[in-house]
Structure 1
Amino acid sequence: MPVLPGFITAPLWEQFQALLPERTVTQPLCCHRPRIPDRVVFDRLLARLVLGGTYQQHADQTCSATTMRARRDEWIRAGVFEHLHRFALEAYDQAVGLDLPDLVVDGCIVKAPCGGQNTGRSPVDRGKSGLKRSVLVDGSGIPIGWVLAGANRNDSPLPRPTLETLAVVGLRLPDAITVHLDAGYDSRQIRELLAELGCIPNITPRGTFLPINHTHRWVIERTNSWHNRGFAALAKVTDRREEVQNAWVALASAIIIIRRLIRRSWPLYRWEGRPARRP
């Protein structure tokens, strides 16, 4: 049984395959084991992202855990995962349109039992090792950028690098941008940062209770739920290296964007492979 519907994996693999680097054969023919097809390895990595677990649990006679890790690192060095996320954003922006006048930033803490980079003692999990993911989304909850840090890191230093990911993805920004933040960011430092970046702050005052559905921040809570509930490898991070952690977030975010793109485009467009019902 596939871990994702075919109407998602088909365009995902088509774009992923187009980004793979060209290979040059350096060994003579018939003198080595044949290379495992990229699609087989991609399906195994996709299964690990969605279902979690170790690489050995997703390996079989067609693809070993060593091959999964080696091919993953090869694709990370080629920048395939970050380019995939960027192209998914561009496709969504062209077909539907990103809601860039309203941006939301927030962080969530997940388990990281193996430690490694971007980990620290979690204040919400009895001091166990954890990872904090500071995410930037548009007004409809589409993940634009993120910054990874230890679970013990304070929220106040993270909005600057998180907002700076806007320049990395290269989107055309509107003249006026409102940044929505919760009460944890209500400080003079954050307001000065937003003024420096030319953004309008909309921060919940400290000591004031506002139901989240009365604010614009509910979309990022939904996106964090998409990340953690839809992809077990993000809810419990076992990879120790930063580049691998970022690659998983990029692949999961690209899947979220493609799913939202299909859902929003379903009543507006017709295309080959369009699902019979609105997903």
Structure 2
Amino acid sequence: MWERIEPLLPVVERRYRYPGRRRLDQRKVLCGILFVLYTGIRWEFLPQELGFGSGMTCWRRLRDWNEAGVWQRLHELLLAELRAGDVLDLSRASVDGSHLRALKGGNATGRSPVDRGKTGSKHHVIVDAHGIPLAATVTGGNRNDVTQLLPLIEAVPPIRGKRGRPRRRPDVLYADRGYDHDIYRRQVRELGIRPVIARRGTDHGSGLGKNRWVVEAAFALLHWFRRLRIRWEVRADIHQAFLTLGCAIICWRRLKTSF
């Protein structure tokens, strides 16, 4: 994966006069960021004896690389490789949201209705037919899932990998009862997508679970990263950086196991 990340990293020229301390190797810093993502350890407790550098250095690089669009471009690159290998299936997609606690508050948080009103956030994810994350966003825990349906669809990047125009829209979109609003069905159809959404007030067992289970599996993979189980970041952009990086790692794993 480093071979794909390295060309995306911004180049920082060292000053000729007063160059200061030499910057830590990019790859070592990336390993420190991944160590925090996997273990959930606090930045200040990052073990320097492993060569990662200080936690503050890793935090700054995570911020700078996120502002430079590195994680988003990495995700798009891996999606294109998956599509080129016929692993990505956009014949249908599934969406859902998942609550998590935000113990330090910050922006994009709110009183969670499923956690006794405690401060929390929500992950919103859209996946393809195989559960590969196409896009993921962070909002406050008090936001209704359906309000993020269209922004989530718009967040899917143009996916290249084959001749012709890049693909951005699935053919069919599956969602649970939380997305049952006719106005949003109409708006999804206007985007050229056929919505298949369970109706509220009907008995459970609609049969959509045989297609929707992949989004639940994607949440399980994302929350396997300890840093994504609980939101510790006050800044939403830092948590979004971790979330996008987690999506890219899932794509990378699928790419490795498919070829």
Question: Normalising by the residue count of structure 2, what TM-score does the alignment of the two structures yield?
Answer: 0.90
Q: Summarize the alignment of residues 1-279 of structure 1 with structure 2, pairs less than 5 Å apart.
A: 12-28=1-17, 32-60=20-48, 62=51, 63-166=53-156, 168-171=157-160, 172-173=166-167, 177-206=171-200, 207-210=202-205, 214-229=209-224, 231-265=225-259
Check the 8 A contact 1:96/1:264 in 2, yes or no. no
CA displacement 1:201-254 (0-9 Å, x = unmatched): 11122232127784310000000000012x111111111222212211111111
Change in CA separation of 1:125 and 1:97 when aligned onto 2, cut-off 3 Å: same
> Do the aligned partners of 2:121 and 2:140 also contact (CA within 8 Å) in 1?
yes
CA distance change for structure 1 residues 75 and 102 in 2, over 3 Å: closer, same or farther? same
Counterpart contact for 2:172–2:195, Cα < 8 Å:
yes
Find the aligned partners of 1:79 and 1:176 in 2 and give their Cα distance.
24
Q: Which amino acid in 2 is paired with 1:18?
A: P
- TM-aligned CA deviation for residue 174 of structure 1: 8.4
CA deviation profile, 1:73-124 (whole Å, cap 9, x unmatched): 2212221111111111111111233111101111111111111121111112
Shift of 1:142: 0.5
Equivalent pairs counted in the alignment come to 251
Task: Spell out structure 1 runs of 4+ moving beyond 2 A.
Answer: 31-34, 168-176, 211-215
Unaligned runs of 5+ in 1: 1-11, 266-279
Percent sequence identity over aligned pairs: 33
- Quickly say closer, same or farther: Cα 1:92–1:170, change in 2 above 3 A: closer
Q: Distance in 2 between matches of 1:123 and 1:209?
A: 22
Alpha-carbon distance between aligned partners in 1 of 2:167 and 2:132, rounded to the nearest angstrom: 15
Tell whether the 8 Å contact from 1:121 to 1:152 is kept in structure 2 after alignment.
yes
**d(CA) in 2 for partners of 1:175, 1:72:** 30
Q: Compute the displacement of 1:22 (Å).
A: 1.6
- Counterpart of 1:5 in structure 2 is none
Secondary structure (helix, strand or coil) at the match of 1:83 reads: helix
Q: Deviations over 1:27-68 (max 9, x none)?
A: 447x63222111111111001001102101214254112211
TM-score, structure 1 length as denominator? Answer: 0.84
**Using the alignment, how far apart are the partners of 1:112 and 1:128 within structure 2?**
8
Aligned partners of 1:136 and 1:163 also within 8 Å: yes
What SS does structure 2 have at the residue aligned with 1:32? coil
Tell me, what secondary structure is at the counterpart of 1:118? coil
Shift of 1:176: 7.0
Given that 1:106 and 1:220 are in contact with CA atoms closer than 8 Å, whether structure 2 keeps it comes out as yes
**Structure 2: runs of 5+ lacking an equivalent:** 161-165
**Structure-2 change in CA distance of 1:186 and 1:94 (3 Å):** same
Separation in structure 1 between the aligned mates of residue 76 and residue 8 of structure 2, nearest angstrom: 12
User: Distance in 1 between the 2:126 and 2:250 partners?
Assistant: 14
CA RMSD of aligned residues (A): 2.0
Partners of 2:72 and 2:155 lie apart in 1 by: 12
Asked if the contact 1:118–1:149 (Cα under 8 Å) also holds between the matched residues in 2, the reply is yes
CA contact (8 A) 2:159 2:168 kept: no
Q: Match of 2:163?
A: none
